[in-house]
Amino acid sequence: MRKTLAIALMLTASLGLAACDKKSEDKAQDATKHAEQAQQDMNKAQDKVNDAAKENAEAAKAQAESNKAAAQEAAPAAPTEAPKN
């Protein structure tokens, strides 16, 4: 009878531990999924930063061209012929 009781207790304990292992595996899988999602979000954010940097570069180029054109318009035009006296 003692052997039967001991075997039943060991079986119950092993089933209990097996159930605990499954939960930890589920948590590990969930953590992996969350890490993958975080990586995708980081990639999207980096793409947005890159796009913003490109737009800033284009805006700076356009501003430089605008400043150059404004400087040319503001400069007095050189006379084509010298006045004759």
Number of structural domains, the chain?
1
Q: Which residue has the tokens 């061209």?
A: 65
Distance CA(72)–CA(65), nearest Å, equals 11
Range of the domain at 48: 33-68
In a domain, 80, yes or no: no
Q: How far is CA 6 from CA 2, 17, 28, 49, 50, in A?
A: 6, 16, 33, 64, 66
| Predicted confidence band of residue 11 (pLDDT cuts 50, 70, 90) | confident
In a domain, 37, yes or no: yes
Would the pTM count as exceeding 0.95?
no
Domain assignment present for residue 64? The answer is yes
User: Does 39 reside within a domain?
Assistant: yes
Whether residue 77 is predicted with pLDDT greater than 70 in this model: the reply is: no
Report which residue type is found at 39: Q
Which residue stretches of the chain are H helix?
2-74
In this predicted structure, the answer to whether residue 22 has a pLDDT above a threshold of 70 is no
Inside any domain, residue 41: yes
Q: pLDDT for 30-62, tens place per residue? A: 999 999 999 999 999 999 999 999 999 999 999
Task: State yes or no: pLDDT of 79 exceeds 60.
Answer: no
Q: Considering the domain boundaries, does residue 8 fall inside one?
A: no
73 has a pLDDT exceeding 70: yes
